[in-house]
Amino acid sequence: MADRIGFISTRFAGTDGVSLESQKWADVLAEMGHESFWFAGLLDRPRESSYCVPEAFFGFSENRWINDHIWGRTTRYPLVSERMSELSAYLKTTLYEFVRRFGLNTLVIQNAVTIPMHVPLGVAITQFLAETSLPAIAHHHDFYWERARFSINAIPDLLDMAFPPRDPRLQHVVINQEALEELARRKGLTSTLIPNVIEFEKPPPPIDAYASDVRAQLGLSPADVFILQPTRIVPRKGIEHAIKLVQMLNDPKYKLIISHEAGDEGFEYRNMLADMAREARVDMRFVSTQVSDARLVDGEGRKVFTLWDIYPHADLVTYPSLYEGFGNAFLEAIYFKVPVIVNRYGVFGRDIEPKGFRCPMMDGYVSRHVVEEVRRLLESRTYREEMTEHNYRVAARYYGYSVLRRSLHTLMTNITGMPEQ
C-alpha cells in the first residue's frame, strides 16, 4: 500500500546533510511507490508538494530571539516561556494544515526533534504526534548532547520532552553506532542505524562542457596539484591539518582549495586559517563565491559550479575533521574516485574504517608517514587508481542505495503493521 509521506524540518534547501539525505530517502521511497511532501521554513522542493512556513526556519527572527535567551544561561524568564509557547502553538496549527492539505498518513521528521536549533518547532511536533497518533519516523543526524554549545541551557524540561520525544508510534533512526547507544542510555529508546548513502549503483557521469574548465576558472594552471577541502569553514573540520599537510609536502604546485564559507559560526576561525597559511607559505584559496547549490553565472559573468562539478577535477580531498556525525564528504570523494586523507574522528574509526577502506589516515596530527603516503598517491597513477577503485567497491557494498532501500522497507513495514491505538 502506497503512503503519502510528509517530511518535516526547519530547512530543506541547499547542500547541508539533512537536506541531501532527506532527498535520497524521498527518492528511494518513490521507487517503493510512496509519495513525499515537504514542510519547512526554507524550501527548494517542488511547489506543488511543499508547504513553506517561514516561522519554522531556525533563522526566523522570533526563534533567534528565543535562542538568545535560552542558551548559555540556566534561568528562563516567564516572557521567554510565553513566547516559545505562542510560536509553538502556531506551528502546531501549520502541522495540522500540512497533514490536511496533502492527505498525509505518515511523517518523517528530519532532525527537527534532534538538535534544538528551533525549540518551538520540536515542541510543536511532539505535541502534534501526541494528539494525532500519526505514525512517524524521526531521522536523527546530530543530538544536542553532541554539541558543547547546548550544554548550558535554560530548557532542560523541553529537551527532555521533545529532543527527541518518547512517543510509542515514533520510530527512531540514527546515523552511527554511538548515537544508537547514547539514545538508548539517555532516553531509553531503541533505534535503527541507517548510514548516509550515495547511489553507488550509478557511477557519476563524465565531465560535461559546462564543468570542463573548472580548474582554469579557479585559477589553477595545468601543472598545479588540486587539493580540495570540500567543507564549511568551522573549527570541527580541522582545516589547520590540511594546511600543515600542504606545508609538509613543500612544493608550490600544491594548491589548497576550500569550497565553502564560514557560515553561521563567525569568521574568527577563517581568519586564523588565512594567517596560518600565509605564515606557512601555503597557497590556500577560498572559492565559496564560485560554488553554489546550482549552476549559474554571477554578476561578473563568471561561472558558478556545484560541488559535484568540482570533485572530478580534484587530485586529493582532505578530510581532517575532529568530529562528524557521519562523513558525507568522505563518501563523496570515494564516489568520484578521488583519493582522500582522513583524520580518525570517532564515528569514522568505529563505523566506517572497519569496512575496509584504504586511505592515508591521521591520528590527530600530520605525520611524516602520512605525508609520504599522500605524496605517493599524487605521484603514482597506478597506486591511486588501485586505491580509489577498491574504495568504490567497498562503499557500494555498505553505503549504496540498496542499504537504504532495505532499511526503509523494514521501517515502512513496521508502520503499516502497527496495531491501531
In angstroms, the CA 300 to CA 57 distance is 31
* pTM (2 d.p.): 0.90
Residues 90 and 219 in one domain: no
Residues 31 and 98 in one domain: yes
Distance between first and last Cα of the chain: 20
Residues 175 and 237 in one domain: no
Residue 203 lies in a domain: no
The DSSP annotation for 13-42 comes to -SSSHHHHHHHHHHHHHHHTT-EEEEEESE
Residue 343 lies in a domain: yes
Residues 393 and 408 in one domain: no
Contact present, 119 and 70 (Cβ < 8 Å): yes
Q: What is the pLDDT of residues 391-405, one digit of tens each?
A: 999 999 999 999 999
Q: What mean pLDDT is predicted for residues 58-75?
A: 97
Contact present, 268 and 346 (Cβ < 8 Å): no
Which amino acid makes up residue 161? M
**Bigger pLDDT: 418 or 227?**
227
The CATH number linked to 381 is 3.40.50.2000
Question: What are the Cα distances from residue 414, in Å, to 108, 131, 170, 187, 205?
Answer: 14, 21, 11, 21, 36
Residue 60 lies in a domain: yes
pLDDT recorded at residue 48: 97
Q: How many domains does the chain have?
A: 2
Phi-psi region for residue 355, left (φ > 0), alpha (ψ -120 to 50) or beta? alpha
Residues 233 and 188 in one domain: no
Q: What is the pLDDT of residues 351-384, one digit of tens each?
A: 999 999 999 999 999 999 999 999 999 999 999 9
Q: Examine the pLDDT at 1 and tell me if it is beyond 80.
A: no
The DSSP annotation for 221-242 comes to -TT-EEEEE-S---GGG-HHHH
Q: What does the block give as the cell for 42?
A: 526554507
Residue 322 lies in a domain: yes
Residues 234 and 304 in one domain: yes
Of 3-12, 56-65, 294-303, 347-356, minimum mean pLDDT range: 294-303
Using 50, 70 and 90 to split pLDDT, how confident is the model at 284? very high
Residues 382 and 409 in one domain: no
**What does the mean pLDDT of the chain come to?**
95
Residues 186 and 251 in one domain: no
Q: Examine the pLDDT at 419 and tell me if it is beyond 50.
A: no
Residue 54: give the domain boundaries.
4-197+401-416
Q: Examine the pLDDT at 420 and tell me if it is beyond 60.
A: no
Contact present, 323 and 234 (Cβ < 8 Å): no
Residue 204 lies in a domain: no
Q: Examine the pLDDT at 421 and tell me if it is beyond 60.
A: no
Residues 145 and 226 in one domain: no
Residues 26 and 167 in one domain: yes
Residue 205 lies in a domain: no
- Phi–psi pair at 356, nearest 5 degrees: 110, 20
Mark out the alpha helices in 281-380 (DSSP H runs): 307-310, 328-335, 346-347, 368-379
CB-count exposure of residue 361 (10 Å: 0-12, 13-18, 19+): middle
Which amino acid makes up residue 166? R
Question: What are the Cα distances from residue 413, in Å, to 6, 178, 319, 410?
Answer: 17, 26, 37, 5
Q: How far is CA 213 from the centre of its chain?
A: 28
Residue 202 lies in a domain: no
Residue 207 lies in a domain: no
Phi-psi region for residue 263, left (φ > 0), alpha (ψ -120 to 50) or beta? left
Using 50, 70 and 90 to split pLDDT, how confident is the model at 46? very high
Residues 58 and 104 in one domain: yes
Strands 303-304 and 296-297: antiparallel
Residues 167 and 88 in one domain: yes
Q: What is the pLDDT of residues 130-173, one digit of tens each?
A: 999 999 999 999 999 998 899 999 999 999 999 999 999 999 99
Q: How far is CA 407 from the centre of its chain?
A: 19
Using 50, 70 and 90 to split pLDDT, how confident is the model at 14? confident
